[in-house]
Amino acid sequence: MMGLTSPADPLTSRAALLKAASDLMIERGVIDISLSEIGRRARLNTALVKYYFGGKSGLMLALVRDVLGQALVQMQGLVTMDLDPVTKLKLHIKGVINVYFRYPYVNRLIHAMLLDPVLGEEVAKTISRPLAETQRRLVEDGVRAGLLKPIDPMLFYFIILGACDHLFFSQHALRHAFGVHEIDDQLRRDYTDTLLDMVLNGILLPQGKTG
Amino acid sequence: MMGLTSPADPLTSRAALLKAASDLMIERGVIDISLSEIGRRARLNTALVKYYFGGKSGLMLALVRDVLGQALVQMQGLVTMDLDPVTKLKLHIKGVINVYFRYPYVNRLIHAMLLDPVLGEEVAKTISRPLAETQRRLVEDGVRAGLLKPIDPMLFYFIILGACDHLFFSQHALRHAFGVHEIDDQLRRDYTDTLLDMVLNGILLPQGKTG
């Protein structure tokens, strides 16, 4: 009985530490949070971070895998689904935006990790490369079907990820330059629709194209 | 005579400190550099940072203004030039990419500053808002001329800045996920051309648009 209700219950404590780190990064809009802040928020001894994750880097890696693992699996599943390639690409881009909407810190966290030689290779192997590979297949399927222009998948990767992320990365610019204090669901939808229309159709009107 | 050759010559020392900070951020790919590192690189006493800039924040603010000031003036000049609105918008986007190409740290530095209540207002007033205003006018001129679709300038701002910045922000992903170790001039040009074509024309082929 004791094990089920104890605050040191492994699953609960592990999840509580991950949630505390995630919540703190969302609230503060920065990825620099300390172990002691995480421990205080989770009401757990920070020694448990070392126990479960080997340290703060391990906790952050576990968090990124938690947050993106499910999304990556869904995105990889898209590739083989019986849908037309353009619909797949739209769903992919929506999925990327939804991840950044829920976890606005995740892109910055990944980039901080890519700076570290050991952690960087791990993040590249489990996240960046699978994502790039999924996108490459989605784009190439669309090109092969005669629906999309040939486009370099690497350039596409940086353009799309940057465009998807920037509203969330730049929440402070949103506040300071546009007076918008919160990214609500309506803004997320408007951003998604505008980006999708731009990526697929461009912003030129027919008379612009001849000009 | 002494004043002209002294290492404490005001203009030279001030510029040397700014250049040292800029060079260090480019070389390391991070914006977290210490005053003592800046002093060592410039071969100057760090007390001069306090003297010229009031401290490290002041130095970073001066650097951002140095780097972006000229570019912002040129972009504002575009608005009134006798060119068609689509050409202006293209030149604007090229200009943004060129700034990030030369100073890949500048977008992250601005966002770190926007987090600070006092510095944030200063950066917003001198950089973010003028840039947003310039873009708004360029886009609205294009819409008014019947060349561009109506588009929310705020959403356009985040999509374009994110897309322009991400190749440079994500240099570690470029290395880890694509094996590309340097952004050379050819890659900058390819990125610019691909982004401009996507923004203006989209990636759908005519048969994709009907599908």
**A19 or A118, which is more confident?**
A19
Amino acid making up residue B51: Y
Pick the CATH number of B8-54 from 1.10.3720.10, 2.60.40.1180, 3.40.710.10, 1.10.10.60: 1.10.10.60
Q: How far apart are CA A53 and CA A55, in angstroms?
A: 5
Summarize pLDDT for B172-197 with one digit per residue, the tens: 889 988 999 999 999 999 999 999 99
**Closest chain B C-alpha to A7 CA, distance in angstroms:** 35
Contact B204 A120 (CB under 8 A): no
Summarize pLDDT for B112-169 with one digit per residue, the tens: 898 888 888 899 999 999 999 999 999 999 999 999 999 999 999 999 999 999 999 8
Q: B155 and A194 in contact (C-beta within 8 Å)?
A: yes
pLDDT at B5 over 80: no
Q: How far apart are CA A104 and CA A107, in angstroms?
A: 7
**B108 or B47, which is more confident?**
B47
A135 contacts in chain B (CB < 8 Å): none
pLDDT band at A51; cut points 50, 70, 90: very high
Q: How far apart are CA A162 and CA A181, in angstroms?
A: 21
Pick the CATH number of A64-201 from 1.10.220.10, 2.60.40.420, 1.10.357.10, 1.10.10.200: 1.10.357.10
pLDDT band at B108; cut points 50, 70, 90: confident
CATH 1.10.357.10, chain A: domain bounds: 64-201
**Closest chain B C-alpha to A118 CA, distance in angstroms:** 11
**A49 token code pair:** 């971070």
pLDDT the model gives residue A83: 94
Kindly report the pTM of this predicted structure.
0.90
pLDDT the model gives residue B201: 95
Please give the helix or strand (H or E) that residue B41 lies within, else none.
helix B35-42
pLDDT the model gives residue A116: 85
pLDDT band at A209; cut points 50, 70, 90: low
Summarize pLDDT for B85-102 with one digit per residue, the tens: 999 999 999 999 999 999
pLDDT the model gives residue B4: 42
Average pLDDT score, chain A: 90
The DSSP secondary-structure symbol of A6 reads: -
pLDDT the model gives residue A164: 96
Contact B195 A155 (CB under 8 A): yes
**With an 8 Å Cβ cutoff, is B8 touching chain A?**
no
**With an 8 Å Cβ cutoff, is B156 touching chain A?**
yes
CATH 1.10.357.10, chain B: domain bounds: 57-202
Q: How far apart are CA B104 and CA B110, in angstroms?
A: 11
Contact B162 A170 (CB under 8 A): yes
Contact A159 B194 (CB under 8 A): yes
Q: How far apart are CA B78 and CA B92, in angstroms?
A: 8
pLDDT at B3 over 50: no
**With an 8 Å Cβ cutoff, is A84 touching chain B?**
yes
pLDDT at B66 over 80: yes
**B8 or A63, which is more confident?**
A63
**Closest chain A C-alpha to B103 CA, distance in angstroms:** 17
pLDDT at B40 over 90: yes
pLDDT the model gives residue B211: 43
**A46-73: average pLDDT:** 92
* Percent of residues, chain A, with pLDDT higher than 70: 93
CATH architecture entry for A9-54: Orthogonal Bundle (1.10)
pLDDT the model gives residue A207: 73
- Mutation to test the A interface, candidates B30, B198, B199, B201, most A Cβ within 10 Å: B198
CATH 1.10.10.60, chain B: domain bounds: 8-54
**Closest chain B C-alpha to A5 CA, distance in angstroms:** 40
**A56-65: average pLDDT:** 93
* Percent of residues, chain A, with pLDDT higher than 90: 71
From B200, B206, B211, select the one nearest A88 (Cα to Cα). B211
pLDDT band at A8; cut points 50, 70, 90: low
Pick the CATH number of B57-202 from 2.40.50.140, 1.20.1250.20, 1.10.357.10, 3.40.50.2300: 1.10.357.10
Summarize pLDDT for A82-131 with one digit per residue, the tens: 999 999 999 999 999 999 999 999 988 998 898 888 888 899 999 999 99
pLDDT the model gives residue B9: 66
B160 contacts in chain A (CB < 8 Å): 163
Residue of chain B with shortest Cα separation from A149: B203
* Percent of residues, chain B, with pLDDT higher than 90: 71
Q: Which residue has the tokens 């399927």?
A: A141
**With an 8 Å Cβ cutoff, is A115 touching chain B?**
yes
The DSSP secondary-structure symbol of A147 reads: S
Q: How far apart are CA A107 and CA A158, in angstroms?
A: 12
pLDDT at A179 over 80: yes
CATH 1.10.10.60, chain A: domain bounds: 9-54
pLDDT the model gives residue B10: 65
pLDDT the model gives residue A62: 94
